[in-house]
Structure 1
Amino acid sequence: MESGPAIFAGTAFALFGGALLLWTTVRVRQGEPVALGAAPRAAAVLAGLAGALSLALGVWCFGRL
């Protein structure tokens, strides 16, 4: 019964984290801003950390099954 919410949360975190990391990587490689009005390096680092943290949470959720 408890595996359903863990699977859903793990999938949501993993998809969001992976998509955020992919989007950040593409924006940095193209030289486009990651966040409007923010310092480019700081925005890329913070977005990368948020994506990695979300991906790690997804892996953690799947590990709890």
Structure 2
Amino acid sequence: MSVKEDKANSLKEHNHKQAPEAEEKEAQDQLKLAKGKSDQLLSQAEKKLYALKDAAKDKISEINK
């Protein structure tokens, strides 16, 4: 095996070992983004829920007057 082939094979092995790590990091990054988006949507939903709850209380108070 020539030095050139040996270096090429070594580089292939190195890249092959790094690929799963890069994929895992990308998956973790996507998971963090998804969690952030999920938290944001949950917060928005909670705000809307409390606004509806307050509106319902106000409406009930009006009706009971």
Q: Which has the higher helix share?
A: 2
TM-score normalised by length of structure 2: 0.44
TM-score normalised by length of structure 1: 0.44
Q: Which has the higher contact order (CA 8 A, sep 6+)?
A: 1
